[in-house]
A = this chain, B = another copy of it.
């Protein structure tokens, strides 16, 4: 892969990423950053420390002679799933680490940042590649930090807000959805390895696309409301078998953060800006694959495959859209009034109908970092395009995110597709 052209560029990249993480917890208390609301989620403090552990372990420990670790116990506390790096604290126990405190974790970050900034000039290419990987890794955790924090706050009957809400314009219904025809026949997809990408994005390879069309924007809250009103959550025939079992066992009746008002109406939505009125024109968010799939069946459509999605996205500017740096609280916004396909990047991760599996010729990266992606290739579905909680510049057309079909605490949404 091509590295940033100069040590300066790498320093700027590292510095920017590390600064954003800290900014995300401004205004949060030590308790806020220590809470864990479910095994899938982690405390904010853990995200701050684990991303730092990545640099300390794979760069400073392995490449910087005489580096003195901040605290040897942290290697155990802040390893996540790297089996080859030794024992780890059980994931559901992360919320019991009331210590180290947020202040200590921030000191840990500074210790590592200083050592990294000193070291960056002299690192060999292999280590500099790990720095780039670490920056991308930390950007992923920035998004996770936000989704986990939102989930934690949603358990609190006081419904605290993490950030100022900003102005929310409640619009009318969105414009009618239009279909955009996609490419057909042999198409190349996947990353070519020239710039940075995660290992699972390549190798580039050929697939064959059948005739199809994609919706020009994301499904909206208003459209989802019609699905509910039509008893979508009560109609077994719309659901996958596993999805229907999930709906019944968990009493699912709406997306994760929809809230009823006193009259029983789904008129409100909880987010990082607190409780707010539901905007019918904004994209529906926090739906599981099961829900996305059932909705699309109800709508007489289907979800796109990841190949269809990527062929539509290739060539578009992946840095344009609603990302983490948008003003106001983190949230998706209505599709702009433009022609053509919109909202492919940013706003919400789009569920695809593709299982997360290796591309032909896939080889995981060597060593501990090679545990990164390949080991998750069973039972999960691919999501594409990034979200309003993704740092701008983090995603690409080839970028593959993945979650289990029941998970929905991420910033997920739905784009429809159909055969033509």
Contacts and interface: CB of A to CB of B under 8 A. Distances in A.
Interface of A: 29-35, 37, 45, 73, 76-77, 81, 83-84, 89, 93, 95-102, 152, 155-158, 160, 186, 205-208, 210, 212, 236-237, 239-244, 289-290, 293, 302, 353-355, 357-358, 360-361, 371, 375-379, 381, 405, 419
Given A210-B361, A419-B360, A378 B34 contact: no
Nearest to A28: B98
Given A73-B158, A95-B95, A29 B242 contact: no
A289 B98 CA distance: 30
Contact of A99 (B98, B156, B375, B378): B156
A250 to B, nearest CB: 15
A304 B242 CA distance: 26
A259 to B, nearest CB: 16
Given A157-B89, A237-B371, A360-B212, A96 B37 contact: yes
A378 to B, nearest CB: 5
A32 B96 CA distance: 9
B355 A99 contact: no
A24 to B, nearest CB: 15
A96 B156 contact: yes
A98 B360 contact: no
Contacts of A243: 378
A198 to B, nearest CB: 16
Contacts of A157: 73, 76-77, 89
Contacts of A358: 302, 353
Nearest to A360: B210
Contacts of A77: 157-158
Contacts of A89: 157
A240 B378 contact: yes
A378 B83 contact: no
A239 B207 contact: no
B31 A101 contact: yes
15 contacts: A30-B31, A31-B98, A93-B155, A95-B95, A97-B158, A98-B152, A206-B208, A207-B208, A240-B377, A241-B376, A242-B379, A244-B375, A353-B358, A354-B357, A379-B405
A212 B160 CA distance: 55
Given A31-B34, A31-B101, A84 B236 contact: yes
Contact of A241 (B81, B95, B101, B205): B81
Contact of A240 (B31, B375, B381): B375
Contact of A160 (B99, B244, B371): B99
A239 B378 contact: no
B360 A353 contact: no
B208 A186 contact: yes
Contacts of A208: 186, 205-208
Given A34-B98, A73-B158, 13 more contacts: A29-B98, A76-B157, A83-B236, A84-B237, A99-B160, A100-B158, A206-B208, A207-B208, A208-B208, A243-B378, A244-B375, A302-B358, A353-B358
A81 B207 CA distance: 35
B360 A378 contact: no
Contacts of A81: 241
Nearest to A207: B208
Contacts of A30: 29-31
A95 B45 CA distance: 16
A205 B307 CA distance: 15
A212 to B, nearest CB: 7
Nearest to A37: B96
Contacts of A45: 31
A419 B375 contact: no
A81 B33 CA distance: 28
